Structures are given as C-alpha cells and as structure tokens.
Amino acid sequence: MTRTLRAGIIGTGFMGAVHAHAVRANGGIVSEISGRTPESAADAAIRLHALEAAPSPEALIDSDQVDVVHICTPNATHAALAKRAIAAGKHVVCEKPLATTLEDAQKLRDLADGAGTVAAVPFVYRFYPAVREARARIARGEAGNLWLLHGSYLQDWLASSDATNWRVDPAAGGTSRAFGDIGVHWCDLMEFATGHRISRLVARTSRAFAQRASKGVMRDVGTEDGAALLFETDRGATGSLVVSQVTPGRKNRLWFSFDGTEESFSFNQEQPDTLWVGGSRGSIRVPSGPDTLSYPESQRYARLPAGHPHGYQDSFNAFIADVYAAARGESIDGLPTFRDGLRAAQITQAVLDSTATNAWVDVPDIDAGLPLSARTPDQPALERQS
Ligand code: SOE
C-alpha cells in the first residue's frame, strides 16, 4: 500500500498534538480530529491542521476518510475506543496505558492478534538511537552477563498539592497513576533493550500528598505519587526501579543503568543524545549519529550527524514512521504493540498486588508456552545472550 495514510486523532491535548506532528512528519494526513466537545474539536482542527473536525470519536472511527485511529484520550476511555477501531478494520495507535484493567488489556491484545491490522502503543523511548545502540550491543553479548538492571523515572509536574489532573482520579486514569503512567515506560525499555523479562517483583507505592486541590476543594488522593520496586528477571538478573511524579527539579528524567560483567550501559532521557558505555579500563560517551553509532539497528534511527540532538518529538516521529511502515505491510523489528500494552498491564497489576499484600508477586510470562522462535522480534536477544 503506497497511498498516503490518513490519520484520525481522538484527543486534542498535549499527546494529540504530538501525534499530529508525527503523522505529518511522515507524509501522512490528519484527516479528522475529535475532542470532548464539537467546539474543542473545531478549535483543534485549526490548531493541528486537520482537514475536518469529527462530530464524535465514534464518527471518526467509522469514517471512510480514516485509515489509522490515534487514541489520545484519558486512560479509562481507551478500551472501548480501541475495540471499536479494531472492529472497524482500522489500524490503531492507542496511548499507554492500553487499558485500566488487566482483563481489558488481555481482550484488546487478543482482538488485535486476530485482526490483521496494526495495533501499536507508544512506548516511544525505544526510538532514541542511543537506546537502540544499547540494545544492539547487549544483543551481541558486549555486556557480558547482565546481572544488575536499575534506574528511575522522575518527574515534578505534580510536585504541589495544588496540582491535579485527570490522571489523579482513578475513575479516569485507573487505579495506578505514577507507575501505570511512567513506570511502565521504564519496564518496557528495560525488557526491550536487554531481552530480559521481569519474573517477579516486590513493590511499594506511596503518596507525597494525601490530598490535592480539585476545583478549589482539597480532596483525598486515590492514586500513588511514586513507587519503589525490587525485581528479578527470567535470566537471573536483579533490578530496582524508583518512580516519582513529585521530585522537584526532575522534568522527565528516565534513567537506566544495565550492568554486565564486561560493560555497563547508561542512558538519561533528559540528555538523550549519548549512550554511556562503562568499562573497567575506561568509559565512553557514544554520541548519536549514523557515523558514530556501531550497528545498523541504531544507525537507522539517527537521521542527522552526531551533534544535532534527536529529541522526544523526533523519537515519536520515528515511532509513527515504523507504525505506518507496518501498516503498509513492512516487517518492523521492535514495534511496541498491544502485546506490550498487555505486558505493561501485567506488571502494573503485580505492583498493585505486591503493595496490597506486602509480598513478592510473580509476573506471568506473556509468551508462556510459546517456543522462543514464535516470540516477537524482541525475543531474539534472549537467544543471542545464552
Ligand atoms: C505524563 O506523566 C507524561 O506525559 C506521560 O503520560 C508520558 O507517557 C511520558 O512520556 C511523559 O510524561
């Protein structure tokens, strides 16, 4: 399929704008946009250069002017919209979390598996060249035995009791907020880059503020501001993760260190253009550029020479490029799909269960029973690491 793909974007906020820019950066058309009201849709159609405002999300999904449905709405609306889009035969890009319950995530993954269309979730941090470089080096065994996987994801946009957002409300955002919103990014990135799978974890969620202001009234908060985890992986590694949306001064600081017996690899999303490679006899900072990265899997995402920073929107553009290539029938390695959205829901549920029971909780192997060869492209790293 070579014709221009037409996007329908449901949601007119920050992520709707990011999706719209990425669609156009890849030669797509934003044919329709819908929002909470016809007025917000009309405003967004002008602001985001859509051909027209749809009267409702459902009308947008059913429109014959839309090939790819982008769902950028509050979490609790994702499942019904994604289900309708799949049933309408559309390709779907659904913002994470895929759903607010494990059951809905499972149903959506199963629906997507049988649909023959693309169903993707923007685990966008996979699309930094530096992350692909770490994955390529780890897959070739350059780390040695990966035994310690650790990091954090810290933000401060909720670092005040006056700050609130639909994510704080479990009815709109789901029962897990900080972990379900950003902890899942870190876990997806760790499993994607290393090929390891979290097999069990122990976690504690917590709140910085017991109450937050909502429409001028202080109300009890039902979701967590942060979480701390210890985990083990299916290949014998140990890990830790700290997640917070109340860490003053940290804006969007996703950071990891994946430590092997030969080399360790560290990445900081707030300075995303370099990969730190640690060695006992010296360490280097690898800049992102087709001429400075080592392998084709990472070079393909470094569009500009080293020194021309690749930012968040660039990564989102690269994600949409791969989604639209897959929609045209290309086989794409590393595309985050509804399967990965289900995986995130499994880990989130384990975090909630462990917090509630104060105990270690097993995390199911999403491909349990499948031979390695039947696993997704992410899995070959497991074979190479043995
Ligand atoms: C808010 O925490 C947020 O926009 C997340 O929802 C995104 O997934 C993350 O990439 C940036 O922060």
Helices 129-139 and 184-194 pack at an angle, to 10 degrees, of: 40
Asked if residue 65 and residue 43 are part of one domain, the reply reads yes
CA 202 to CA 358: how far, in whole Å?
7
pLDDT computed for residue 379 by the predictor: 44
What are the contacts of 53-60 at 24+ separation with CB within 8 A?
Answer: 54/8, 57/10, 57/81, 58/84, 59/34, 60/8, 60/10, 60/32, 60/33, 60/34
131 and 252 share one domain: yes
Average pLDDT over the chain, rounded to an integer = 94
Which ligand 1 atom is nearest residue 312's CA?
Answer: 10
**Looking at the structure, do residues 132 and 155 belong to the same domain, yes or no?**
yes
How far apart (Å, rounded) are the C-alpha atoms in residues 17 and 251? 19
Q: Is 225 a pocket residue for ligand 1 (Cβ < 6 Å)?
A: no
> 97 is in which domain, residue-wise?
6-124
Is the pLDDT reported for residue 378 higher than 90? no
The domain that holds 187 is classified in CATH as: 3.30.360.10
Measured from the Cα of 181, ligand 1's closest atom is 6
Domain count, the chain: 2
Q: What is the mean pLDDT of residues 241-247?
A: 98
User: Are 142 and 160 part of one and the same domain?
Assistant: yes
Q: What is the pLDDT of residue 377?
A: 44
Q: Is the CB of 268 under 6 A from ligand 1?
A: no
Question: Cα of 96 to ligand 1 centre, how many Å?
Answer: 9
Q: What are the tens digits of pLDDT across the range 16-62?
A: 999 999 999 999 999 999 999 999 999 999 999 999 999 999 999 99
| Cβ 280 vs Cβ 166: under 8 Å | no
Task: Record the pTM.
Answer: 0.95
- For ligand 1, whether the C-beta of 53 sits within 6 Å is no
Predicted confidence band at 254 (pLDDT cuts at 50, 70, 90)? very high
Residues 192 and 294 in one domain: yes
Q: Is the pLDDT of residue 241 over 70?
A: yes
DSSP 218: E
Ligand 1 centroid to 386 CA: how many Å?
34
Alpha-carbon distance 89 to 86, whole Å?
5
353's tokens: 């269960």
Phi/psi at 256 (5° precision): -135, 160
Query: Of 256, 275, 307, at which residue does a domain stop?
Result: 307
Summarize pLDDT for 319-360 with one digit per residue, the tens.
Answer: 999 999 999 999 999 999 999 999 999 999 999 999 999 999
Atom 6 of ligand 1, nearest CA residue? 181
Q: Which among 98, 124, 150 is the end of a domain?
A: 124
Q: Is 313 in the pocket of ligand 1 (CB under 6 A)?
A: no
Both 52 and 138 in one domain: the answer is: no
Q: How confident is the model at residue 149 (pLDDT cuts 50, 70, 90)?
A: very high
Query: For residue 129, is pLDDT > 80?
Result: yes
Q: Kindly give the number of the ligand 1 atom that is closest to the alpha carbon of 185.
A: 8
Q: For residue 225, how far is its CA from the centre of ligand 1 (angstroms)?
A: 14
State the distance from the centre of ligand 1 to the C-alpha of 383, rounded, in angstroms.
Answer: 32
Question: What is the mean pLDDT of the segment spanning 263-278?
Answer: 98
What is the model's pLDDT at position 297? Answer: 97
* 10 close to 60: Cβ distance less than 8 angstroms: yes
For every residue of 291-350, DSSP letters joined together read: TTS-SHHHHTT--S-TTS---HHHHHHHHHHHHHHHHTT---TT--BHHHHHHHHHHHHH
In a domain, residue 358? The reply is no
